[in-house]
Amino acid sequence: MQISRQPYETKPWQNRICPAETMVKIHPDHTTSGAGNITSSPYLTTEKESFTIWMKSLVFNTNGCTVFDSKGNIIYRVDNYNSKSCREVYLMDLHGHVLFTLRSQKFGLFKTWEGYRSPSGTSDSTTNSEYFRVKSNIFQVPSKDSYSSYRVLTGSCRKNEQYHYKMVTRGSSLGIEDICGRVVAEVKRKQSRKGLEFGDDVLTMVVESQVDHSFIIGLVLTHRLINRKL
């Protein structure tokens, strides 16, 4: 049976103009390290790109996921050797170099997830690393259409921390919006060319141009960790 879903729609108010300095931070031509040095990013999209996320690890007897580009090449992987919903997860490239360390932190009664970029390719040190923290709206009342949202703060290890993004779930789709409400990435169940959906462990991620897709994958994995789906 063919199942159709409504596409993720951009609201009229989301088209408002952002200050130029804000757009430089959200859609950079380069990435900035924690020390302030500007370096080229090999993960920056040059046009809208599509990725496939398979919520399975290619390593036997482990939990995790594997991410493929539009040509079928493996570009990211997570191999969790401990168990599901552990407190620390590593996003790696194909060769096992750590790109982001995702870490669970507890503040009072509430748990948040933090992500640290790993420029050295290891998880040994996250000092002065680029950083993001995902905060949930604790006063949010569940709606009938399964709407939920999470704020994403970015900075350099809590220095100059700013609100830049929001992850919004509508039904089974996850949208990542910038500070102006524009959708920079969307994740939903993958469909065949005939419109038939694959299993709920096979997802499609579409990322807009001039966006760091390694950062977006880090947010998507964090969202699944929060909801105990990884």
- Helix (H) / strand (E) element for 49: namely strand 49-54
pLDDT in tens, 201-215: 999 999 999 999 999
**What band does 82 get if pLDDT is binned at 50, 70 and 90?**
low
* Fold observed for domain 42-225: Porin (2.40.160)
pLDDT value of residue 124: 65
Mean pLDDT of 93-110: 85
| Straight-line distance from the first to the last Cα atom of the chain, in angstroms, rounded to the nearest whole number | 28
User: Is residue 217's pLDDT more than 70?
Assistant: yes
Q: What distance in Å separates the CA atoms of residue 125 and residue 129, rounded to the nearest whole number?
A: 8
Residue-averaged pLDDT of the chain: 77
Residues contacting residue 79 through CB under 8 Å, at least 6 positions apart? 57, 58, 59, 62, 64, 92
Mean pLDDT of 137-150: 67
Q: What distance in Å separates the CA atoms of residue 147 and residue 159, rounded to the nearest whole number?
A: 31
Residues contacting residue 193 through CB under 8 Å, at least 6 positions apart? none
Q: What distance in Å separates the CA atoms of residue 120 and residue 2, rounded to the nearest whole number?
A: 46
What global pTM score does this model have?
0.77
Per-domain residue ranges of the chain: 42-225
User: Two tokens at 72?
Assistant: 């079928």
User: Is residue 176's pLDDT more than 90?
Assistant: yes
Q: What distance in Å separates the CA atoms of residue 101 and residue 24, rounded to the nearest whole number?
A: 25
- Of 209 and 7, more confident: 209
pLDDT in tens, 52-69: 999 999 888 788 999 999
The answer to whether 174 touches 157, Cβ cutoff 8 Å, is: no
Quick check: helix, strand or coil at residue 221? helix
Q: Using alpha carbons, select from 212, 203, 211 the residue that is nearest to residue 230.
A: 203
Mean pLDDT of 100-119: 83
pLDDT value of residue 120: 73
User: Two tokens at 227?
Assistant: 């909801």
pLDDT value of residue 106: 74
**What band does 5 get if pLDDT is binned at 50, 70 and 90?**
very low
Q: What distance in Å separates the CA atoms of residue 68 and residue 198, rounded to the nearest whole number?
A: 15
The answer to whether 186 touches 171, Cβ cutoff 8 Å, is: no
HSE toward the beta carbon, residue 111, CA cutoff 13 A: 11
User: Is residue 140's pLDDT more than 50?
Assistant: yes
The per-residue b/e assignment along 196-209, b for 16 or more CB within 10 angstroms, e otherwise, is ebeeeeebebbbbe
